[in-house]
Chain A
Amino acid sequence: MSYPDEKGTFDGYGGKYVSETLMPALTELEEAYNRYKDDPDFKEELNYYLKEFVGRPNPLYYAERLSEKLGIKVYLKREDLNHTGAHKINNTVGQILLARRMGKTRIIAETGAGQHGVATATVAARFGLECEIFMGAEDVKRQAPNVFRMKLLGAKVTPVHSGSQTLKDAMNEAMRDWITYVRTTFYIIGSVAGPHPYPMLVRDLQRIIGDEARQQVLEKEGRLPDLIVACVGGGSNAIGLFYPFLDDTDVRIVGVEAAGHGLDKGPHSAPLAAGTPGVLHGARSYLMQDPEGQILPAHSIAPGLDYPGVGPEHCYLKDTGRVTYTTATDEEALEAFKELSRMEGIIPALESSHALAYVLREAASIQKDSVVVINLSGRGDKDIHIAAQEIGIDL
């Protein structure tokens, strides 16, 4: 069975829990995507921009010193080397090409840390489309450099003062804007979350990560990896890496959520590890919520993981057991952030550091000489202020 099914669910996760005003727009998007996804002109144009604008393919880099230290073969999928510094742009390039074909003249997006906002503002600038980014007022304060980047790229950045003033509230506000301007506006969702068809659309645009990694590891090792690992917030970089390996049953797959200070120590961002199924932002998925169904605020040192929900396909993969979901704490992620910087000369994003942290923690129990692929989903320059503060250095 291939998912999503005709109801837009992954064995019951996902769906279209949105107000009636948006239902026709979701159908319109789904029809447009089905029309263009196999269209040779669309594919050719997408491939052109992925190569010439984003800089794909990016390397699958053998992390030699880390490998020697750990006694396993660690490969890093270098999404951090993409234009704008993360995997997010794989998706925004694809969606804006779709938006243009659909005749939409205005682009909106939500952003937490600002990475997806920057990736969206970047493609909107490239194609000359009006762009508005919704960002929680708290995040606007915490991520001033990315706010400046988006403005430099010509986007309007709208701070969202409702609720917890973070990513989930930015998504609420983007949905409200979309409800209001649905006829002219294309909403570029940044993760494999939201109503159908977004989880499918974003997965299909991000699977290039796994498609490249699979081919590259076969070239380098002559075989498939033993283990692939990615961090999971909404889960777009993870599904991008995992999806092409799902049928390779000998490949162990691990998704790493953010445990914050620890699963039993206050708010965190690990709905798969410690949440329950519910409905938020148009989809049924595991959520951080109280017993009455009110959504709880999330926390992670990595702003991009700071989300109380998770993509529906990950929920399905958890339930079937094909993917193992675990967590890493803020502290473990920060250690991994420092370790990779020192050992390999690569400063990873704090999000990606969660995937690294898992491998560092579990290396002793992984069979010697195993081939391990870690998705280095983004670069860490954006996080130096957070890291410095945690380490106790005043920049």
Chain B
Amino acid sequence: MSRIENLFKSLKEKNETAFIPYITAGDPDFAVTEQLLKCLVDNGADLIELGVPFSDPMADGPTIQVASQRALENPFSIDAILDQVRKVREYSDIPIILFGYYNPFYQYGLEKLAQNVKQSGADGFLIVDMPPEEAGEMKAAADAQGLDIIFLLAPTSTDRRMQLIAENASGFVYFVSVTGVTGARDSLAESLEPYVERIRTFSNLPVGIGFGVSKPEHVREISGYADAVIVGSAIIKVAEKHFGKPDLQDAVGAFVRELKDATR
């Protein structure tokens, strides 16, 4: 059983929703990433999405765009990101997925990527600009290593596409709560629950909800009907205020703990 499968099984037994924070690797440098990863684990994260920065993040709002730019001011390498995963593996078995855009993965070489990702101890991929239609090569490489590929579903997805994604996805499916880019929003889109119900008619995988989720009350609401809740930009917004300050881990840790508590 994969780490991700295990996670959802054990959370179900505890009647908890998975809390999934996102941070961009290397933002603003790897020393901070190392601290933040530890901080996320220590404060209740159930799974971590580790962002692989890209020069042209088409599906991201301003917060993650800026985070990516900051990260890319340092030399970029996927190997350095995998080193961060290895460091987490020294103290935790938390599932980790790499979240990014197709081109940096593609240039690395998809087969070599899957081998090295597996070897680092990470668990899978979420590639924003890779719909199932373009996933053949990546999926073959990931399957060969037993890694999961998380696919997105959107409010615009048709039944036919939900079916297609259900056939290709593993780990969990990620429902994008809004037609829009990533970024903290003040309120959640209305009536997310019917979407989750619809997705469940196509797939038995756990359903996570992200994009726009920024507050404990959002997390609490989503926990009422989904299996996982993903928060990215809101965490980066807290973190970036404390970059270079001694209270970085305290501030992020407190926010993450508050979000996780809302899933219980």
Contact B104 A294 (CB under 8 A): yes
- A280 located at the interface, meaning its Cβ lies under 8 Å from any Cβ of chain B in the complex: yes
CA distance A291 to B108 in the complex (A): 8
A267 within 8 A of B: no
What is the total of A-B residue contacts with beta carbons within 8 Å? 124
Given A19-B154, A182-B179, A278-B103 in contact, is the A294-B58 Cβ separation under 8 Å? no
A354 at the interface (CB under 8 A from B): no
B34-75 interface with A by 8 A CB criterion: 54-62, 65, 69, 72
Contact status A289-B56, CB under 8 Å: no
Q: Which one of B76, B131, B134, B178 lies within 8 Å of A292 (CB-CB)?
A: B76
Q: Is the CB of A291 within 8 A of B107?
A: yes
Residue of A nearest to B107 (CB): A293
Q: Quick check: is B161 within 8 A (CB to CB) of the other chain?
A: yes
- Tell me, in angstroms, the Cα distance from A264 to B25 when the chains sit together: 32
Residues of A within 8 A of B102 (CB): 17, 279
A24 nearest CB neighbor, chain B only: B156
Q: Do the beta carbons of B180 and A295 come within 8 Å of each other?
A: no
Asked whether A23 and B161 contact (CB < 8 A) given A163-B55, A293-B104, the answer is yes
Whether A17 lies near B129 (C-beta < 8 A) is yes
Taking the complex as formed, is B239 at the interface, i.e. its CB lies under 8 A from any CB of chain A?
no
- CB < 8 Å: which of B56, B61, B105, B134 contacts A280? B56
CB distance from A354 to the nearest CB of B (A): 25
B131 and A20 contact, CB distance less than 8 A? yes
Secondary structure at chain B's binding surface: helix, strand, loop or mixed?
Answer: loop
A70–B57 Cα distance when bound, in Å, is 48
Q: Are B129 and A18 in contact (CB under 8 A)?
A: yes
Chain A interface residue count, CB cutoff 8 Å, equals: 36
Which of A23, A182, A281 is in CB contact (< 8 Å) with B56? A281
Q: Mark B154-182, 1 if CB is under 8 A from A, else 0.
A: 11111001000100000000001011110
Q: Which A1-49 residues have a C-beta within 8 angstroms of B? A: 7, 15-25
Interface size on B, residues (CB 8 A): 44
Whether the pair A279, B106 counts as a contact (CB closer than 8 A) is yes
Contact yes or no, A179 B103, CB < 8 A? no
When distances are taken between beta carbons in the complex, the residues of chain B under 8 Å from A215 are: none
Contact A21 B134 (CB under 8 A): no
- Contact flag A19-B58 (CB < 8 Å), given A25-B156, A180-B179, A282-B129: yes
Give residues of chain A (149-176) contacting chain B, Cβ–Cβ below 8 Å. 162-163, 168-169, 172, 175-176
Q: Does B133 contact A (CB under 8 A)?
A: yes
Given A163-B56, A172-B57: A20 in contact with B105 (beta carbons within 8 A):
no
Of B55, B59, B157, which one neighbours A176 at CB under 8 angstroms? B59
Flag if A17 contacts B161 (CB, 8 Å). Answer: no
Separation in Å of the B242 CB from the closest CB of chain A?
23
Most buried by A among B60, B101, B104: B104
- B11 lies within 8 A of chain A by Cβ: no
B59 surroundings in chain A (CB, below 8 A)? 19, 21, 175-176, 179
Select from chain A the residue with minimum beta-carbon distance to B75.
A292
Q: Closest approach, in angstroms, between the C-beta of A161 and any C-beta of chain B?
A: 9
Residues of B within 8 A of A18 (CB): 58, 129, 131
Q: Does B152 sit within 8 A of A, measured CB to CB?
A: yes
From the candidates A168, A180, A181, A293, name the one contacting B103 in the complex (CB within 8 A): A293
10 other A-B residue contacts (CB within 8 Å) besides A20-B153, A20-B154: A19-B131, A19-B154, A21-B152, A21-B155, A21-B176, A23-B133, A172-B58, A176-B61, A180-B178, A295-B103
